[in-house]
Chains A and B, each alone.
Chain A
Amino acid sequence: MMKTSFILSASLAIHAAIVAHEAEIESLDRAIGDGDHYINMKRGSEVIAGMYNELLALPEDDVLNKIGMKLLSTIGGASGPLFASFFMSMAKVTKQNVADTPLEVAAAFAAGVQAIMQRGKAQVGEKTMLDVLVPVSTQFTTLAAEGKSSIAIAQALKQTAYQGLESTRNLIATKGRAAGLGERAIGHLDAGAKSCQVMIHTVCDLVIKGAHE
């Protein structure tokens, strides 16, 4: 399921999707952040898309680890270590247990999300990317355990990601860019949650289209 070719197609699609959502991500970060989130996401996704040829012949866990290391030295800010931790943890799990079935991919994804929580010392409900990632990870594991098809899972996760994003609207931020704003953050979506929703949506669409075949 998660072949190198799929990871690389996903990285190209993610880069395109981030660029396509520039205005939306930027305006969210301007409202309750410090205005650098889009630039960082663009720089990170661009450099990974640019590694396509270099990564093409490598095994999946190597690809994930190299993506993590590259993001760590490219993005900076909070996003750098968080996304780097995600990919490096995913790589570790994938190395131990090749991610072939949906359940195995879900386990790798869950390990990545866990690493973000540890690095950021954050939980669900703090108005961050975790409000998208954690419900998606939980749902992913549940549906995979129920033996649902990749396409059915992808369709459901798009929905979950969107709901997670929406859930940030009425939260007071206790971590991340809007912490310190108190009630002024209420009514605004979190920019980091938005870019995660965009990325999940993009990858799910790839699965649905069968682009990994």
Chain B
Amino acid sequence: MKKFINKVDNILTESLSGFASAHRDLVTFQLDPNYLTRAQKAQNKVAIISGGGSGHEPLHAGYIGYGMLDAACPGQVFTSPTPDQMLAAAESVHADKGVLFIVKNYAGDVMNFEMASEMLPFEHATVLTSDDCAVVNSTYTTGRRGVAGTVIVEKCVGSLAETGADLASCKALGNKVNLRTSSIGVALTSCTVPAAGRATFDIAETELEMGVGIHGEPGRKREQMREADAIVNDCVQAIVTDFKAKNLATNQEALLLVNGFGATPLMELYLIYHSAAKLLAAQGICITRSLVGNYTTALDMAGASITVCLLDDEIKQHWDSPVHTPALRWGR
């Protein structure tokens, strides 16, 4: 393992301290229990809080700020945060209109947020994101995982919350965006959890992992490496099949997010975008909104995920609205 580390046990606090210091105009970092909030507390709105294991930066703390999150709770690397963090964050940012948790559908995250919710003394609700369509047969599993599509949910719900909308409306929009969003990831290499010191999984130079999760957990299938268009085509087919299974018409406008897992250059991410947009157009999906970059990473994994969100006027409006966070900024 070759990484920029002082002491393995200090990675998280040193990294979060650096993040908070670099973006001190936007965020504040509280230590023990760890959570981050906006530098200026927002008033008269539903407080939007997310959280999850670290190692997915800029998810979630990078999305704290106007038009997105009010607070984020970072866990240990690839490990859900704990209820005391969520309670402290909620206590700090709630502004009498309730608290909405946005939680990626992983067993650990769900259970910890659930326990926090049971202890929370004020109005609250949860949106579970489950955009990953990689899991073939959902009847056999705890359910689909929440991955890069979570960024789109956080952006749209955050935008609606700024208008003063109530908790139920924010939750409803979150659920709608999640339903209309589908993702699938491909890994070319493993990632290395610093505390483990070695690659999470073994993968040959000639192989790829189709449907990988954002922690390097195995996905749909181990396959042979091949040219980019063929890989992207399989991803696009999986997404289109998923929309059809959900009875969503695919002849409409969409947002295409090509997300890097941490070690794939932007040059390749744009190549994937080029390929995916063409293939989606052939399926009648017209890409009118785009996001390309590292938005939901898996430490140092090489690979990328493709996310498509089917737009309607409401989602479009909340995607386009101004946002000002460390990792996403436009219109303001």
Contacts and interface: CB of A to CB of B under 8 A. Distances in A.
Interface residues of B, number: 38
Contact of B108 (A35, A78, A181): A78
B102 to A, nearest CB: 18
A43 B141 CA distance: 28
7 contacts: A30-B201, A36-B78, A76-B76, A76-B79, A77-B75, A177-B217, A180-B213
Interface in A66-109: 72-82, 84
Contact of A78 (B81, B83, B84, B107): B107
A138 interface: no
B130 to A, nearest CB: 12
Interface of B: 33, 53, 75-84, 106-108, 111-112, 114-115, 134-137, 140-142, 145, 193, 195-196, 200-201, 213, 215-219
A172 interface: yes
A179 to B, nearest CB: 4
Given A36-B215, A80-B82, A81-B108, 15 more contacts: A36-B79, A36-B196, A39-B79, A39-B196, A40-B76, A73-B83, A76-B112, A77-B53, A77-B75, A78-B80, A80-B112, A81-B115, A177-B107, A179-B141, A180-B135
Given A35-B216, A182-B137, A184-B218, A80 B193 contact: no
Contacts, number: 115
A34 interface: yes
Interface of A: 26, 30, 32-36, 38-40, 43, 72-82, 84, 119-120, 172-177, 179-182, 184
A177 B80 CA distance: 13
Nearest to A84: B115
B213 A34 contact: yes
Contact of B142 (A43, A174, A182): A174
Contact of A36 (B77, B83, B136): B77
B196 A35 contact: yes
B218 A76 contact: no
A77 B145 contact: no
A135 to B, nearest CB: 22
B136 A72 contact: no
